[in-house]
Every structure is written in structure tokens, then in C-alpha cells.
Structure 1
Amino acid sequence: MEAFLLSAGIVALAEMGDKTQLLSLLLAARFRRPWPIAWGILAATLVNHALAGAVGNWVTRALGPDVLRWVLGASFVAMAAWMLVPDRLDEDEAPAAASRQGVFGTTLVAFFLAEMGDKTQVATVALAAQYPQWTAVVAGTTLGMMLANAPVVWFGDRLVKRVPIRAVHIVSALIFLALGLAALCGWG
């Protein structure tokens, strides 16, 4: 349960102000059909994070425990620093219009591609390497992604304007830093 809850909390915080949250806002404003957008986000996140979780699980088996501890510690400390860099949605990642796949397909593809190499995908790899229950990590990171993005799909601008994104990024950075230091010191 620890892997699930920690993963959900970290990703929900890390996702605040992230480019995929901005993409969710853009999709909601453009298509005004929240259900297919939410289902597209869920499907894209499940596939993306399952792949990331599998990579994290493989890393655990491929590296010895001593090397893994240093890699995880350094990864979490790097994630802490990365959390302090604000995301912006690149112009080439913004969907121009619904493709032949419709709103769901457009959301699925755009969200999957935007999540590649993103903070939350990297965090999923690191968490899955740390916890042997990588399916719990994937379920948790997916829940965290939905907790951060689904409200944006329905409530959009009103929600984003009221959340102090900088404070959320600082809290997320501190959590990642604590995890990194714990790994480097051999705790947990």
C-alpha cells in the first residue's frame, strides 16, 4: 500500500503545472467534451506508466542493490531539482484539431506523446525500481495523474488560477529530495 499511496501523492503533486496538465486544459477548452478527454488521459497514462514501471522493474533486476541505491538516490535528487523548473506546453505538442480518431483518439495520442520523458514518467521508472510491487506504483502514478488532470478537464481555468503552483512544486521537490537522501543513506 505504501508504494501505491506514495506514488499517487508524488505524481499528483508533480503534475501540478506540468505540461500534461496544460495539455489537459487545452484539450478541454478546444473540444469541450470532458468524458472522452478523461478516458483518453486514463488510457494514455496506463500504457505510458506501465511501460515505465516495467523499465523500473527491469532496472531493479539488472543492477545490483548497491548500484541501484546510488542510481535511485541521484535520480530522486535530480527530480527534486527538475520540479523547480516550470513546464510550458510546446507549440508542436498542442493538438490542432480532432483527428479522424475523434476527441478520445486525439487525447490518447497527444497525452501519450507529451508524457514521454516527462517528470512523472521518470518518477514512475524510479519508483518502480525502488518498490518490488511495480504494479502498485503504476496504479498509484495513474491515480495521481488522474487526480491532477481530471479536475482540469471539468473545471479548467477556475481551478488552475486558484492553486499556488509554485508552492506545489516546492513541496514536490522537497519530497523527491527526501526520497533521494533516504536512498543515498540506505534508509528504507
Structure 2
Amino acid sequence: MKIYLIRHGEPDYTDVTNQHYVGYGRDLGGLTPAGVKMAQQCAQKPELQQVQLILTSPFTRAMATTIEIARQVAVPVTVELDLHEWQPDRTGTLIENNRQVARAYTQYKRTPHSRPADFPYPYETADEVQARVNAVFARYAAHYDCIACITHGEVMTQLTGQRSFDYCEIKAIDYPN
């Protein structure tokens, strides 16, 4: 199955910052006007005309990107919980601010395949990211030849090995990869 991984458009955290949202509350941030335009331009890419289904992360920035793409690519859309971004705290209870997220991410980049036993935040490892996303794709592989997946930069990194992605960048992979 061909999968077009698409990073969400440029996010806007203004409202969630003004509401003092932290942790998972930050994931309610939508797109900037530029992010909406990026998604609209992405929808015009010829490779997306092959897509039979769009899968999307449940995070608002990904779903807002999906809405813009789905307006042009008339196929079903399914929200998949496990297409979310890397988790700095798998419990969802220990991290209270962006400084702690940054600390977890720094440690994750040092030791992506294991968590030190004494590290205070149980971040998701690279192997765990790959396993959860590949489990989603496995449910669709027998039914589709080509899908799009709107997700996040770190997810895309773990599936492709590419270090960074622009907003609304498309990267094709073959599943199983």
C-alpha cells in the first residue's frame, strides 16, 4: 500500500496559550491563516488524486489540515487516535509546562530507543511511535492501495528516517516499509 504522509499545516497556539492550556490542551491549537493556505495548496498536489482514504491524527492542527485537503480530494476521512504526535509523558499527568516537554524531547533525542530508568518523564520511544502507527496502517493495508495520512513531524521522522519536514510536506512510503 502506498501511503502519502503529510505533515499538518503551520500551527497556531495563540488561543490555547491565552487560555493557559498545558499538556494535551496544547494539542487543541489550530492553524494559522498561512497554515490553512498551505493545506489548500497541498490538496492540489497531483499525487493526492490517487488517494482512496485519508487518515488523520486527532490533534486539531492535523484535523484542520485534513478538512482543507478533503475539500479537494473527495474521499472518506477517518480520525485515528494512534496517529498523534510523539508523547513526552505517556501518563499524561506529569508534565505541566513547555520547559518540561523540552527536557523530555532533549532526552528522547539522546536516547530515542530507550528511556533511562531514572528519567522523571516516561516519554514515548521511537520504537513505540513506529509500532503504534504501523498498527494503524496494518488495519488498512488489505483494503486500500493508496491512502493519505495527515500526522506530525516526529511520526514522519520515525517512519522515514528523514530528520525534519516542512509544514504540509508530503513524503511517500510503501507499507509495509
Could you tell me the TM-score, scaled by structure 2's length? 0.25
Structure (1 or 2) with the greater strand fraction: 2
Q: Which protein has greater RCO, CA pairs closer than 8 Å, 6+ apart? A: 1
Could you tell me the TM-score, scaled by structure 1's length? 0.24
